[in-house]
Amino acid sequence: MTEKKLTGKVAMITGGARGLGRGYALRLAGLGADIAVVDRNLRSAEVYKFEKQQMTADTVVEECRALGVRALGMEVDLTNRAANEKSVADIVARMGHIDIAICNAGGGTVTFADEREPEKDASGKPIEGRMVDLGLTGTPADCPQHMLTRVLNNNLMTCMYTCMAVAPYMKAQKSGKIVTVSSTAGIQASPGYHPYGVAKAAIIHYTRSLSLELAPFNINVNCIAPDIIRTGRLGDRSQLAAMIPLGREGTIEDCAKVVEFLVTDLSDYITGKIIAIDGGRCDQR
């Protein structure tokens, strides 16, 4: 039987409607936590076949309830600071407290798949799983303003606003676990894929600063930096396995297991740390 070590805890997962965020929500629900999924689109899984095929209910909220926990969903654009504060206040009002925040909302895309017309092949059939976002972001010397604003807002500002919104509640209760989500793109610099790498690097710096401020309140703040992880948005990248020491692309479960570690008592003495989930690809020297 799975140990229900998070029974009685309330976890907020931003961007939890699909992909990695869904994996974190289900993992923590499986450990007994009550779940609040906050996402700009609670049905965002519908736009990718890979995501849709895995769903066992219409939304992640319903999937969590099926695991026997309380779950609520909120459709919120987290680039708005006041909306973050209201979401957290609503979670506390409806669920009593907030113990865990997984700041997962983000992604490299300039436009989300659910905001654009699906790309079609010559026969008019929608093409699934294109890595279009890799090519569409800017470079350090040439990044259009709309990309800068959008990518920094969706990744860095959503993360900072959520942390700032949960901090007063966690400080008052003198406990909490916060997990921020960077990327190996925030650890290793490259000329492309900007400003995503910049946003994710800033999340690492922010995590370290925040962890120092919140440590006296018994709040752990740590960061995960996934590398090549199979989700619907980025598609199948198994062809890159040869450059990964462990010989395969990562899975959502690989990341969810690390999140479990960071939100349970297993990591009570760890704060301000960055954990790359990369099969050994980064930090080789």
Ligand X SMILES: NC(=O)c1ccc[n+]([C@@H]2O[C@H](COP(=O)([O-])OP(=O)(O)OC[C@H]3O[C@@H](n4cnc5c(N)ncnc54)[C@H](O)[C@@H]3O)[C@@H](O)[C@H]2O)c1
| Residues found near ligand X in the complex (CB under 6 A) | 15, 17-21, 39-41, 44, 77-79, 104-107, 154, 158, 181, 183, 226, 228-229, 231-234
For residues 156 and 205, the answer to whether their CB atoms sit within 8 Å is no
DSSP 8-state symbol, 106: -
Instruction: Report the sign of the C-alpha dihedral through residues 92, 95, 97, 101, in that order.
Output: negative
For the bound state, the minimum distance from the C-beta of residue 160 to ligand X, rounded and expressed in Å, comes to 12
User: Distance between CA 160 and CA 73 in Å, rounded?
Assistant: 21
For the bound state, the minimum distance from the C-beta of residue 118 to ligand X, rounded and expressed in Å, comes to 15
Between 171 and 187, CB nearer to ligand X = 187
User: Distance between CA 56 and CA 92 in Å, rounded?
Assistant: 27
Q: Which amino acid is present at 167? A: A
Q: Which of 48, 169, 196, 206 is catalytic?
A: 196
Q: Which residue's Cβ lies closest to ligand X? A: 19
Between 77 and 272, CB nearer to ligand X = 77
Between 5 and 195, CB nearer to ligand X = 195
User: Distance between CA 56 and CA 128 in Å, rounded?
Assistant: 20
For residues 276 and 227, the answer to whether their CB atoms sit within 8 Å is yes
What 3-state class would DSSP assign to 229?
A: strand
Residue 196 appears among annotated catalytic residues: yes
User: Distance between CA 42 and CA 219 in Å, rounded?
Assistant: 29
For the bound state, the minimum distance from the C-beta of residue 276 to ligand X, rounded and expressed in Å, comes to 10
Between 158 and 220, CB nearer to ligand X = 158
The token duo for 133 is: 């976002």
The token duo for 277 is: 């989930």
User: Distance between CA 220 and CA 225 in Å, rounded?
Assistant: 17
Backbone angles phi, psi at 38, to 5 degrees: -120, 120
For residues 221 and 210, the answer to whether their CB atoms sit within 8 Å is yes
For the bound state, the minimum distance from the C-beta of residue 108 to ligand X, rounded and expressed in Å, comes to 6
For the bound state, the minimum distance from the C-beta of residue 135 to ligand X, rounded and expressed in Å, comes to 16
Between 109 and 220, CB nearer to ligand X = 109
Active site residues: 196
